[in-house]
Amino acid sequence: MEVVLYLMPFVGSVFSMMTEQHMPEILCKCLNEKAGSITIIPPELILYTCVNKYLAETWLERYHPPRLTDPETINWLQSLGRKVRGQEYNIRTKRQAVRRIRREIRTLTDAQRERFIRAVQQLKERNIGTTNRYDALASAHDGAAIASAHFGPNFPGWHREYLKLFEAALQEIDNQVTLPFFDSRLDYNLEDPRESNFWGENFMGDHQGVVSRGPFKFWRQRNGAFLERNGGASGSMISPSGIRNVLSKRRNIDILAPWADERFGLENYHDAVHVWVGGTMLGVNTAPSDPVFYLHHCFIDYVWEEFRQKQTVDPESDYPFDQSASPSHAPNRIMDNLETRKRNIDGYSNDYTDQYYRYAKSPTTCRQCRNQYPYLRCGDLFRGLCSATNRRRMARPRSNIRNKDLGIKKKFSTTITDTRKKPPRRRRSTGDWLAYETFLEKKKVSKIRRTKRPINSRRYNKKKQTSQITDMDSSMQNSFLLDGEPDIKRWVFIPVKIVHRRPSGLLFGTKVIRNKNIVDGVDVYSYNKYMNYTDEEQQAAYSHSFTSGSGADKVYVQVDGMSYNGKYVDYTIVDSRLPVSESVAFVAVKDPKLNSSISFISAYDSHGRICRPYCHSYGSNSNQYTKCSGVVNLTEEKPKLYGEDVGEVTQLLYKSGKGKAFTRRDENIFLSFYCDFHEIPWGKC
């Protein structure tokens, strides 16, 4: 269905200071290549991959942190590289070498975990040159390494070597410490992963906003920005069935970009956790500033090692490379930013786990974790599987009910993602058929009765929630980091209009009573003729995602700097009960007074579905929006359609007279998004 969005009449030149720009070819090509996967994985994850790939390949075109050059820091990094090479040599020459054992962090004793955390803290506390040891290591995951260590076959090998360097740095402080891993399947198996003990004060600290509790509270990045998280706003922990998908393959070409099918891509599952944690972890160049990064990547290495053990070919030589991959992933190219002088293909060596370390099996079943570890228990979401314990006692259950979204057709389900950031359901729909593979005993899936009405309605879970956290309880924390400086004064705010169409398959508790009887399968807001549903949404959604029984839902608007290094994310609230709901979000972009301010702006709902961008058609007396790229250029030219803060842009958007109600001046909104989830979401490019 073609949609044209209209505004109030305005002077044609009113938008002279904000214009649409063409989408860059690299970004456009990536999105188009993955367009066929929007029914397999939530398009938000596709967007995450493509935007980061574009930023990685064009990193020299915008501000980037300077490489560390002071002699003391360089000497320490080089000595760390020599130490790693020396350890490898010494281990090879000993017949009875003892390998370190990497374990899931919840299986460590309290003393072991505390020693690990203290070693990480001391890395941060030990200054060296113009920085500290922790930040010196974190800086390696930037610049040229963003492209050469991601989006291709060098992804697992480069990070394997990087983890080894980090572990060696920890062991300089405490030789008894070994890097643990964070098996996020144990959190996927929780009703609400945000309640996991992993986010307790004895582990990684809080997951919401500036980290203010736990061992890493009020940590700062090298650029001065605070360590921050927006846990559960989007993304997913990794599902057991997702890992089984990866392990079902036998060649690296089948699980690594750019060749792997989205359902089997190891890097896809890795990305989903970065998105789930959010905040500092959301940026590829800032992610290592959060200690969660190293534990998460250690688990990815754990999965890759299990994959390698199952291979039917020599793992050391199974390095895929052809013209589809970036030249920076060439097998004989030296790894970027690491001081160990290893080639990319050296990351595939068996020596890592044959000589240096091995992995203890992560508990997965109830038999393996029941009464064995105080921070693990038999999960109640997936029968027979192990899960993390809750980090606090459950409060009195709330009575909010949740409305399961999508899940009518099998093709819309995905094993990559999960958003039980909202209270979960206790039963599964036919749309979650892949998730059934996570049960020890596969159960028969019953069909959901469907009405004869155009809307594919179904009843929602009426059981009481037990989670203490709801999606509406959390807000978004931004670093305000722009070109290396965290300062809100370097940003300005613009309004973005969101037009949200009620998704199909929803049923709310406002019953229709006709002729003294309840009409089944509809609610008061189900205006079927107006909605004109002739087909299902074409975009995949996060598995197990819910819409509130109140109808309240979030649409996120994200800004990625193209002429500058900066990111901003915020949301607005829409009403999913209504056939069409409308709202306005206020997001920040670079202040045009600081030179070029070109941004790529995107929008997606809390289920991972992308909205289509529309820009105002100006230059004539037209008063409509047309499809556009979402890339906008903001200048200082008048009239000023941005505000120095949210208050000023609100004043720009709304007007009132004495004794009169506020009215919104839509003529001051340049960019709008339409969320109906029926088409390929990206605009023209």
State the alpha helices, DSSP H only, in 196-346: 240-247, 266-277, 292-310
Cβ neighbours, 10 Å, residue 626: 14
The residues that bridge with 602 in the sheet, in sequence order, are 558
The residue to which tokens 């736990």 are assigned = 214
| Of 615, 623, 634, 626, the residue nearest 667 (C-alpha) | 623
Q: Which of 156-170, 506-520, 626-640 has the highest mean predicted lDDT (pLDDT)?
A: 156-170
Tell me the C-alpha distance between 537 and 646, whole Å. Answer: 34
pLDDT in tens, 217-237: 999 999 999 999 999 999 999
pLDDT in tens, 296-319: 999 999 999 999 999 999 999 999
- In this prediction, residue 682 carries a pLDDT of 77
Q: Name the token pair of 334.
A: 């030296």
Cβ neighbours, 10 Å, residue 456: 19
User: Are the C-beta atoms of residues 496 and 673 closer than 8 Å to each other?
Assistant: yes
User: Are the C-beta atoms of residues 229 and 280 closer than 8 Å to each other?
Assistant: yes
pLDDT at 454 over 60: no
Q: What percent of the chain has pLDDT over 90?
A: 68
Please report, to the nearest 10 degrees, the dihedral formed by the alpha carbons of residues 343, 345, 350, 351 taken in order: 0
- In this prediction, residue 418 carries a pLDDT of 52
User: Are the C-beta atoms of residues 189 and 387 closer than 8 Å to each other?
Assistant: yes
- In this prediction, residue 664 carries a pLDDT of 83
Question: What does residue 93 show for φ and ψ, rounded to 5 degrees?
Answer: -85, -5
Contacts of 180 (CB under 8 A, 6+ apart): 102, 103, 104, 105, 108, 113, 116, 295, 298
Q: Name the token pair of 566.
A: 């900066």
| Of 509, 511, 405, 403, the residue nearest 465 (C-alpha) | 403
pLDDT at 67 over 90: no
Residue 463 pLDDT grade (very low, low, confident, very high; cuts 50, 70, 90): very low
CATH among 1.10.10.10, 1.10.1280.10, 1.10.3210.10, 3.40.1350.10 for 64-366: 1.10.1280.10
| Tally of CA atoms within 13 A in the half-sphere of 72 that contains its CB | 8
Sequence letter at residue 549: G
Q: What percent of the chain has pLDDT over 70?
A: 81
Secondary structure of residue 609 in the 3-state scheme: coil
pLDDT in tens, 360-369: 999 999 999 9
User: Are the C-beta atoms of residues 354 and 316 closer than 8 Å to each other?
Assistant: no
pLDDT at 460 over 90: no
Residue 446 pLDDT grade (very low, low, confident, very high; cuts 50, 70, 90): very low
- In this prediction, residue 657 carries a pLDDT of 67
- In this prediction, residue 468 carries a pLDDT of 54
Query: Region 130-141: what's the mean pLDDT?
Result: 96
User: Are the C-beta atoms of residues 180 and 318 closer than 8 Å to each other?
Assistant: no
pLDDT in tens, 537-565: 689 988 767 788 899 999 999 999 999 99
* Residue 123 CA from chain centroid, whole number: 27
pLDDT at 405 over 90: no
Residue 394 pLDDT grade (very low, low, confident, very high; cuts 50, 70, 90): very low
Domain ranges for the chain, please list them: 5-42+483-675, 64-366
- In this prediction, residue 534 carries a pLDDT of 52
- In this prediction, residue 474 carries a pLDDT of 83
More confident residue, 411 or 161: 161
- In this prediction, residue 680 carries a pLDDT of 80
pLDDT at 641 over 90: no
pLDDT at 661 over 90: no
Residue 620 pLDDT grade (very low, low, confident, very high; cuts 50, 70, 90): very low
Strands 612-616 and 624-627: antiparallel
- In this prediction, residue 548 carries a pLDDT of 86
The residues that bridge with 6 in the sheet, in sequence order, are 624
pLDDT at 115 over 50: yes
Query: Region 445-457: what's the mean pLDDT?
Result: 28
- In this prediction, residue 51 carries a pLDDT of 98
> In Å, what is the CA distance from 244 to each residue of 92, 118, 249, 542?
33, 34, 9, 18
Query: Region 128-134: what's the mean pLDDT?
Result: 95
- Determine the angle formed by the axes of helices 266-277 and 240-247, rounding to 10 degrees: 150
- In this prediction, residue 424 carries a pLDDT of 37
Query: Region 103-126: what's the mean pLDDT?
Result: 98
Tell me the C-alpha distance between 238 and 265, whole Å. Answer: 12
pLDDT at 431 over 60: no
pLDDT at 258 over 90: yes
- In this prediction, residue 576 carries a pLDDT of 94
User: Are the C-beta atoms of residues 180 and 102 closer than 8 Å to each other?
Assistant: yes
- In this prediction, residue 683 carries a pLDDT of 55
More confident residue, 646 or 69: 646
Tell me the C-alpha distance between 571 and 604, whole Å. Answer: 9
Average pLDDT of the chain, as a whole number: 84
Residue 449 pLDDT grade (very low, low, confident, very high; cuts 50, 70, 90): very low
Least confident of 3-17, 576-590, 649-663: 3-17
Cβ neighbours, 10 Å, residue 318: 16
DSSP string, 497-565: EEEEEPPTT---S-EEEETTEEEEEEETT--HHHH---S---S---BT-EEETT-EEEEEEEEEESSSS
Query: Region 669-676: what's the mean pLDDT?
Result: 94
| Of 390, 298, 346, 335, the residue nearest 105 (C-alpha) | 298
pLDDT at 82 over 70: yes
Tell me the C-alpha distance between 423 and 466, whole Å. Answer: 7
More confident residue, 72 or 617: 72
Secondary structure of residue 247 in the 3-state scheme: helix
State the alpha helices, DSSP H only, in 174-239: 185-188
Radius of gyration of the CA atoms of the chain, in A: 25
| Of 576, 545, 452, the residue nearest 193 (C-alpha) | 545
Tell me the C-alpha distance between 417 and 184, whole Å. Answer: 12
